[in-house]
Amino acid sequence: MRAVVRYGPDAGMDEIAAEAGVTKPVLYRHFTDKADLYVAVGARATELLMAKIVPAVAEDGPIFERIRRAVGCYVTFVDDYRELYRFLVLRPNPHSKDLVQEDKSKIAGVLTELLAGYLNFFQLDATIAGPTAHGIVGLVQGAVLRPSAPGPAGQGLPERASEQYFAAAARALVTPEVLGPP
């Protein structure tokens, strides 16, 4: 994984073998092909990312703060592992599973559970929890991936955008029936 962190999507098997301190034939004994390597690197990246996001969401606090922490973990991960992230996003292998989509679904699943819990508590329609969670994940990923993003991904845009998105979704939930007459 060190070679991928260093070289990003341009990492070839020569660089990966050299970084691991082995020859290419030895590398191919562990991975059947580049697709197999891609899946292994992606699985490790998923472990690292989810090990940060799950506790951030599980920690007590207001829903905005819990989502802000999750977004912060994601943005920090992208900043810390920019080339690894680019490797996974820009170099998907058509012969292997879509690891980025799987990660987005896992993160959205964690957020869906959080949102549904809050919506159920307030006796609101929890069926929107999933679409809202997927919207937050997509919004944050889009903000992090935007080609014109100068410098680190974590310059506040993903956090602000997700907060605004969530605030708009929360306002949509607060119907006149909930608020009462104006």
pLDDT score, position 51: 97
pLDDT in tens, 31-59: 888 788 888 888 899 999 999 999 999 99
CATH for 48-175? Answer: 1.10.357
Residue 54 has φ and ψ, to the nearest 5°, of: -60, -50
Higher pLDDT, 92 or 140: 140
CA-CA-CA-CA torsion sign (47, 48, 51, 56): negative
Element counts in the chain: helices (H) and strands (E): 10, 0
Task: Give me the mean pLDDT over the 23-33 stretch.
Answer: 86
Residue type, 167: A
Q: Please state the domain extents for the chain.
A: 48-175
pLDDT in tens, 158-178: 556 656 666 665 565 555 454
State the Cα angle at 94 between 48 and 141, rounded to 5°. Answer: 45
pTM, rounded to two decimals: 0.77
Report the SS3 class of residue 36.
helix
